[in-house]
Structure 1
Amino acid sequence: MIRFARLVVPLLLSAFSVVPFTQAQADQGWPRHIPNRDGELVINHQPERIVSTSVTLTGSLLAIGAPVVASGAAMPGHKITDQQGFFRQWGKTATEKGVKRLYTGEPNLEAIAAENPDLIIVSATGNDSALPIYERLSAMAPTLVVNYDDKSWQQVERVLAQATGHEAQAEKSIQTYAQREKEVKAKLVLPPQPVSALVFNPHSRLVNLWTTESAQGKLLESLGFTLAQLPAVSIKASQRMKRKDIVPLSGENLVTGLTGNTVMMFATGEEGKAALLAEPLLAATPAVKNKQVYALGDESFRLDYYSASNLLTRLEQLFAKQ
């Protein structure tokens, strides 16, 4: 059993900064001291049975070859999920690895305990966060809280790799993607800049804009895209939510908030694009008026190695030189 301890870290916020891991660090062995929500998590031995309470983070665990045995799930059979409620971009891999679906939605403590985990992964934000029961999970097994709303997917992989001893696998996936990104970037002819990158819910007329701190924003910027300036009133709304990756827009803020000359729609296909183009509140925005709206696919909602790779393919299809 892995034992852990919490230590007081005066500069807690700075402790969450992420730097690339070197092979020397990978060879340091155990125990490892990992910055965590309330200080420091000490992991004495390499985990062998990881439970992910966050469907968002499960993909990154799979990408680095970590031994994740079970995971929380989203609603099954949705356009972004398979029949287990796993994200489509890595659902097949999860099935091949024998990852068990524990629950949908609210965390189930009994189901988690039944898997006898030696490491539990929790997301700090998002609908899949189990943070309210963090103390109870910590009493069950070492529990690592990972904040993905201010990190690229590569940074998230490196945090998980340090905790699981899978640095080499993480760096392999990151470098494989980097080479592919370089190739795609050289082919792109970008649409009119700047862009508003977003997720649109036509039923509630709600838009969530991705910020420069989001994984989605970081990916676009790495390819040469420029994110449109966000309105101050919307930024304040985001700060009240304590989220760094999204800025919510609704009502009249839809008009003032979508300032990009192009709209990049995440987590949707052509049907979502059609709904946004048909929304009367958005008719006067620059991108809608000029029909500069692009759907990036259902699998682009949460980014990990799998979805980011798929997104490169989609961007190449849309904007590569002919």
Structure 2
Amino acid sequence: LDAPVTSTGVQSKGNAIADDKGFFKQWAPEAEDAGLEVSYEGQPDVEAILVQNPDLVVMSSSGQDSATSVYDQLADVVPVIVVDYSNKQWSEVLEELGTAIGHEKQADEAIASYHDRISAVTKSITAPAQPVNIVSLGQGGNTLNVWTKESAQGSLFHDLGWDIAVPDAQYGGGNPQFDGRSDVVSVAAENFGPALTGKTIFALNADGKDSPTEFLKTQEQLKDNPAISTDSVHDLQPYAFRIDYYSAMKVLDDVEALFKN
């Protein structure tokens, strides 16, 4: 958005998704170039935010980075925008923020560059066998989260013209935390087999510690799975767990490298 961002809170540092300052790796180089500072790590720190003398504070209402607990304290001093990214695509969040700061043109240009890249990648690859499943590992390996077309990941692959395979409702309910959501179906281990019907699987492990593809290949109930039996399973990098403009572009780079003509 070409916004004069001066500082950010971070959740953790030096892991699969963040660099040693806590910047997400997909946009860390841009943050460094912009001289971005870290205000706090973990719980929001009102004093650390206000010492930056901000003209505007942007916070999330959901997720580990939610800062609504300090909204009242900040809103008494400085304008605050609260964004709920849990029910929006990254492009919608970008448009919302662009409008709020008067940078609608920059938002439109960024979204247009994404669609230009979608078009270029579509023309440069041979699409994998359809339909595709997009899954992430649940905690402990007892569940799989299968992403639908409404998810950020599913939306990106749908933009490429791919068909997103979704489990029948009877195989959901693996993790009650996800009940009622349209972007993900949580599947318990005993239903891995009938739930994964894609001829190609893209698998994600958000902590980046273990290969999700190797995990799927060790599951007895998936030994006859069409994607696994044809070696059509591909790891997604940890940055694909949270899709923003930067991670969307990196995922498109990865797809192009995998399936380039």
**What TM-score, normalized to structure 2?**
0.85
Q: 1:109 to 1:198 in 2, by over 3 A?
A: farther
Identify which of 104, 107, 110 aligns with 1:170: 107
- Deviation of 1:166 (Å): 1.4
Identify which of 303, 308, 311 aligns with 2:243: 303
Work out whether 1:129 is the aligned partner of 2:66: yes
Identify which of 196, 206, 209 aligns with 1:258: 196
Q: 1:257 to 1:135 in 2, by over 3 A?
A: farther
- Deviation of 1:114 (Å): 2.5
**AA aligned opposite 2:239:** E
Identical-residue share of aligned pairs (%)? 36
Query: Is the Cα contact below 8 Å between 1:149 and 1:245 reproduced in 2?
Result: no
Output the CA distance in 1 between the equivalents of 2:144 and 2:216: 10
1:111 paired residue number: 48
Work out whether 1:221 is the aligned partner of 2:158: yes
Q: Secondary structure at the match of 1:254?
A: helix
1:61 paired residue number: none
Work out whether 1:291 is the aligned partner of 2:236: no
The residue correspondences of 1:243-254 to structure 2 (distance < 5 A) are 243-254=181-192
Output the CA distance in 2 between the equivalents of 1:277 and 1:105: 36
**AA aligned opposite 1:252:** E
Residue deviations 1:152-173 (CA, integer Å, cap 9, x gap): 2222211110111111222222
- Deviation of 1:244 (Å): 4.5
Output the CA distance in 2 between the equivalents of 1:155 and 1:101: 26
- Deviation of 1:82 (Å): 0.6
Output the CA distance in 2 between the equivalents of 1:286 and 1:201: 22
Identify which of 78, 82, 100 aligns with 2:37: 100
Residue deviations 1:96-152 (CA, integer Å, cap 9, x gap): 212111233322233223323332222233222223444444334322222223332
Query: Is the Cα contact below 8 Å between 2:199 and 2:232 reproduced in 1?
Result: yes
The residue correspondences of 1:46-65 to structure 2 (distance < 5 A) are 64-65=1-2
Output the CA distance in 2 between the equivalents of 1:270 and 1:320: 26
Q: Secondary structure at the match of 1:172?
A: helix
Q: What RMSD over aligned residues (CA atoms) do the two structures have, in Å? A: 2.7
- Deviation of 1:226 (Å): 1.2
Query: Is the Cα contact below 8 Å between 2:144 and 2:189 reproduced in 1?
Result: no
Q: Secondary structure at the match of 1:199?
A: strand
Output the CA distance in 2 between the equivalents of 1:125 and 1:109: 18
Output the CA distance in 1 between the equivalents of 2:239 and 2:20: 15
- Deviation of 1:221 (Å): 0.2
Q: Secondary structure at the match of 1:294?
A: strand
Q: 1:252 to 1:92 in 2, by over 3 A?
A: same
Q: 1:244 to 1:102 in 2, by over 3 A?
A: farther
- Deviation of 1:92 (Å): 1.5
Deviates more, 1:252-261 or 1:293-302: 252-261
The residue correspondences of 1:28-43 to structure 2 (distance < 5 A) are none
- Deviation of 1:87 (Å): 0.8
Query: Is the Cα contact below 8 Å between 2:143 and 2:174 reproduced in 1?
Result: no
Output the CA distance in 2 between the equivalents of 1:134 and 1:208: 32
Q: 1:286 to 1:133 in 2, by over 3 A?
A: farther
**AA aligned opposite 2:166:** Q
Q: 1:139 to 1:258 in 2, by over 3 A?
A: farther
The 4+ residue runs of structure 1 with deviation greater than 6 A are none
Output the CA distance in 2 between the equivalents of 1:135 and 1:163: 20
**AA aligned opposite 2:49:** I
Query: Is the Cα contact below 8 Å between 2:178 and 2:185 reproduced in 1?
Result: no
**AA aligned opposite 1:262:** T
**AA aligned opposite 1:161:** G
Residue deviations 1:236-260 (CA, integer Å, cap 9, x gap): 9668566553333333243443332
Query: Is the Cα contact below 8 Å between 1:238 and 1:247 reproduced in 2?
Result: no
1:22 paired residue number: none
Q: 1:148 to 1:238 in 2, by over 3 A?
A: farther
Unaligned runs of 5+ in 1: 1-63
Output the CA distance in 1 between the equivalents of 2:229 and 2:77: 55
- Deviation of 1:178 (Å): 1.7
Unaligned runs of 5+ in 2: none
